[in-house]
């Protein structure tokens, strides 16, 4: 687990991505009825997306390597009276959870993994996602202007998730990824990926 550097980014005020509200893309999915069953938020950070989905009535597990982020997320859940499980776990080894989930959120995690790490991450996601389940990936776009620090192309997404490793990309839409330093979010891709 590579928790310590990530943890540091939560120790001294909000991190650039820690916007204090759910991502607009996730709110739209919720409004459109895009969540189902048990939900996993991979790299949940301080928990706003997980808390939003749980408030819709879903059973949500948020995992992260940053203990400080998890502590903040648990405090928000308690303060808001929302039931969410936040635990320390490595998204590269989700098999260790020994669980099955129906919907997975990735808001800003995929794009932090380099090309060498992505195959292991995709396998890890497959190990917890039930066949027929849905993964939503919100990542910085390679198409500007004012792109984020880890831009990803649609080709990289379709290469990462394919029938050979248990996935089918069903949509990649232009979107926005809210940060603390973009007025209306950074250019992003929102990918909907089915577990086959």
Ligand X SMILES: C[S@@+](CC[C@H](N)C(=O)[O-])C[C@H]1O[C@@H](n2cnc3c(N)ncnc32)[C@H](O)[C@@H]1O
Under 8 Å between Cβ of 46 and 62: no
Q: Which of 105, 116, 169 is nearest to 138 (CA)?
A: 105
The correct pick among 39, 73, 101, 107 for binding ligand X (CB under 6 A) is: 107
Two tokens, residue 55:
């408030």
Number of residues that bind ligand X (CB under 6 A): 20
Within 84-103, the residues that bind ligand X by CB under 6 A are 90-92
CB of 54 to ligand X, least distance (A): 14
Q: Name the residue nearer to ligand X (CB basis): 64 or 102.
A: 64
CB of 172 to ligand X, least distance (A): 19
Asked if 136 interacts with ligand X (CB under 6 A), we say: no
Q: Is 29 exposed, middle or buried (0-12, 13-18, 19+ CB in 10 A)?
A: buried
- Sole window of 27-35, 96-104, 108-116, 127-135 interacting with ligand X (rule: CB under 6 A): 108-116
Within 6-45, the residues that bind ligand X by CB under 6 A are 6, 17-18, 43-45
| Exposure string for 52-73, b = 16+ CB within 10 A, e = fewer | bbbbeebebbbbbbbebbbebb
Strands 129-140 and 186-195, sheet pairing = antiparallel
Under 8 Å between Cβ of 56 and 28: no
Q: Name the residue nearer to ligand X (CB basis): 2 or 165.
A: 2
Residues that bind ligand X in the complex, under the rule CB under 6 A: 2, 6, 17-18, 43-45, 49, 63-66, 69, 90-92, 107-109, 112
């Amino acid at each position: 687990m590579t928790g310590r550097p990530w943890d540091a980014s939560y120790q001294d005020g909000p991190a650039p991505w820690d916007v204090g509200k759910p991502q607009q893309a996730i709110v739209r999915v919720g409004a459109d009825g895009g969540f189902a069953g048990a939900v996993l938020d991979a790299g949940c950070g301080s928990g706003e997306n997980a808390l939003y989905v749980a408030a819709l009535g879903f059973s949500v597990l948020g995992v992260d390597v940053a203990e400080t982020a998890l502590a903040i997320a648990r405090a928000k859940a308690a303060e808001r009276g929302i039931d969410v499980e936040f635990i320390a776990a490595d998204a590269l080894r989700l098999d260790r959870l020994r669980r099955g989930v129906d919907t997975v959120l990735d808001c800003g995690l995929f794009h932090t993994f380099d090309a060498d790490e992505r195959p292991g991450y995709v396998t890890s996601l497959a190990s917890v996602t039930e066949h027929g389940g849905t993964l939503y990936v919100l990542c910085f776009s390679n198409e500007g202007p004012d792109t984020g620090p880890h831009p990803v192309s649609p080709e990289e997404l379709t290469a990462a998730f394919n029938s050979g490793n248990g996935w089918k990309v069903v949509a990649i839409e232009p979107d926005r990824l809210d940060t603390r330093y973009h007025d209306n979010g950074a250019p992003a891709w929102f990918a909907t990926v089915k577990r086959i």
